[in-house]
Chain A
Amino acid sequence: MTAPLLSVKGLSTEFRTERGIVKAVDDVSFDLAAGETLAIVGESGSGKSVTAMSLLRLIPNPPGKISAGEVVFDGQNLLTLSDEEIRAIRGNRIAMIFQEPMSSLNPSLTIGLQIAEPINLHRKTPWAAAMDMAVELLGRVRMSDATSRVKAYPHQFSGGMRQRAMIAMALACQPQLIIADEPTTALDVTVQAQILALLKEVTRAANSALILITHDLGVVARYADRVCVMYGGRIVEAGPAREIYARPRHPYTIGLMASVPRLDQEAGSRLVPIEGSPPNLANLPPGCAFAPRCRRAADLCRNHRPLLVPSAPDHLSACHFHAQLST
């Protein structure tokens, strides 16, 4: 097997808060192959966004700090690069798309200029040629009337158009990896479907890998090849999407799937909720973070944190009772 494009090992990120050190990401490891789409799923406080930000070292320091681990991208550990070296990678070989396009676009610059900037910066392409490429990129993300739209400012765009512009910007330098953090959460349902289909299509065409951070199990099912489920700062289950949905091996994943209503199932029956609330990262229990909400929790779970171990071929689970969960 060839080396993965991205290999994350033991990544840990902490924040210094009034209530002490909070481990937002705790010993996270995963691999990603070229051209693959990985979804990182979790609720608020699960550590999914901090994981994404840590990969590109976008954690504000202080109060945050990547405290351990390595992020090996195409043979290079990103965590040991100089500031200058990591800047040469951001927006170039790895691009990022954020949830709120309005706050990640510069309101005082035209869309075209913002798309052309990384091309000029990283590829040393002259501005005029870079602007021509911006028009071409806007066309590729299906922006109608791209020639005039490059001269527009972000406030003149709708939410969906801004997110298209963000995708054009991400594609500008033909990145090997795109990290998209809840890219469609702020958008309407029909526009969400358009943007995700577009993202999937352009990454496939360019053979770029995609990390999709989301809380939406439907989005994962439609677009992801592989899944990491996060809870309380850790990965609790990981594997191919089809395998995880067909044979979940962690009570949290099983609980999540039972708690969402599905359009293709009989309506009106009661949902099976997960009792309790997501954990407070400043005050995690000593054992399994999910134990207080888990129906199967035993003393073992409350006292000993389970490791992420193989539960089936190519399927990891961090549950002491994973072997008894096969459904």
Chain B
Amino acid sequence: MPSSAPDTVLEVKDLKVHFPVMAGAVMRRQVGSVKAVDGVSFDVRRGETLGLVGESGCGKSTTGLAILKMIDITSGEVKFEGEDISAYDRSRMRPIRRRMQMVYQDPFGSLNPRMKVSEIVGEPLEVHGMASDRAAYDARVASLLDMVGLLPDMADRYPHEFSGGQRQRIGIARALALDPALIICDEPVSALDVSIQAQVVNLFQELQERLGLTYIFIAHDLAVVRHISHRIAVMYLGRIVEIAPRGELYAKPLHPYTQALLAAIPIPDPEVEASRPQQIITGEVPSAMRPPPGCRFHTRCPQAMDVCKSADPSMRDMGGGRAVACHLYDT
């Protein structure tokens, strides 16, 4: 491991994921590409939670899938525990997948309705030959269920017998089965009722403390992301526009998009809301097929300057673990 610090679990460098757009019924040809992820770099340290936040189409979920190599990478580098996995095929990814797991948004669609909980949670053990015999398998399943706060007698039930929050616990138990180092959580609480979200958020935090897990927490809800993450990367149209420790990001957001995102989220307190300046940005996120030239946010940016229309700002290190891609900070 030459360049990476020993506590770095994941390094992503200039990651690009472009999807071809085809046209023509007979003569199929590529007419363009959707630049879902277009040059994203970050690293994740052991035991920390990195939040990826942004609106639909910003590329946060695609980034997660690309790290797991569940979709093809167009270019760039993904290093996991010091190993460059960017060019790995399915068979070479197999041992890596044990160490990198995913928890999905939809606790209804991501569990096979015909499988018992014990089979869902235990399947990874079988696939990777991790259980020596039946007794070891049962014991591991029981301890996984216990870890996520489910009762042992739930092992023989089917997913439909569970509530949304319990199903998400089953999905987390499955992700934990192989003792992973990194779990990518893609909107893991956004499908849950408000009163249930806190239960699952707390479970993620407890498991991290107990097992030393590293998370990438992908979500659109900045309040939840800020609560659970140590550092946060804000994405817009395939790029990271700002990355910062959570406290600083809220106390002093640097990028105008981060400022807009924070201002858009109402705080559940009428007194606070009444005195809060209501700065709402106009417009919607442009198409990722034809991102605006220059800074991608300039079409909606209240502080856009001439330079923003032509020059693409690069990520600038602001010290203290902060970086921002915005011409306002050009020197």
A residues contacting B by CB (< 8 A) are 43-44, 158-161, 188-194, 197, 215-224, 241-242, 245-246, 255-257, 259-264, 267-268, 270-275, 277-278, 293
Contact = CB atoms under 8 A, between A and B. Distances in A.
Closest 4 CB pairs of A and B: A218-B266, A273-B198, A261-B227, A259-B198
A161 to B, nearest CB: 8
Interface of B: 55-56, 163-166, 193-199, 201-202, 205, 220-224, 226-227, 246-247, 250, 260-273, 278, 280-282, 284-285
A225 B175 CA distance: 44
Given A188-B55, A193-B280, A260 B270 contact: no
17 contacts: A43-B193, A188-B284, A189-B265, A197-B280, A217-B268, A221-B269, A221-B273, A256-B194, A259-B194, A261-B198, A261-B227, A262-B223, A263-B265, A264-B272, A270-B205, A277-B163, A277-B166
Contacts of A190: 55, 260-261, 264, 280-281, 284
Contact of A194 (B194, B247, B280): B280
B252 to A, nearest CB: 13
Nearest to A270: B202
A44 B193 contact: yes
A188 B198 contact: no
Residue among B195, B205, B221, B227 with max Cβ neighbours from chain A (10 Å):
B195
A43 B194 contact: yes
Contact of A256 (B195, B222, B224, B270): B195
Chain B contact surface mostly = helix
A274 B198 contact: yes
Nearest to B220: A189
B188 to A, nearest CB: 14
A220 B273 CA distance: 10
A189 B55 contact: yes
A267 B249 CA distance: 11
A219 B270 CA distance: 10
Contact of B270 (A44, A241, A278): A241
A264 B266 CA distance: 10
Contacts of B195: 43, 255-256, 259, 273-274, 278, 293
Contacts of B56: 188
Contacts of B199: 273-275
Contacts of A274: 195, 198-199
Contacts of A246: 271
A191 B270 contact: no
A221 B202 contact: no
A99 to B, nearest CB: 15
A194 B224 contact: no
Given A257-B268, A262-B267, A267 B246 contact: yes
B50 to A, nearest CB: 14
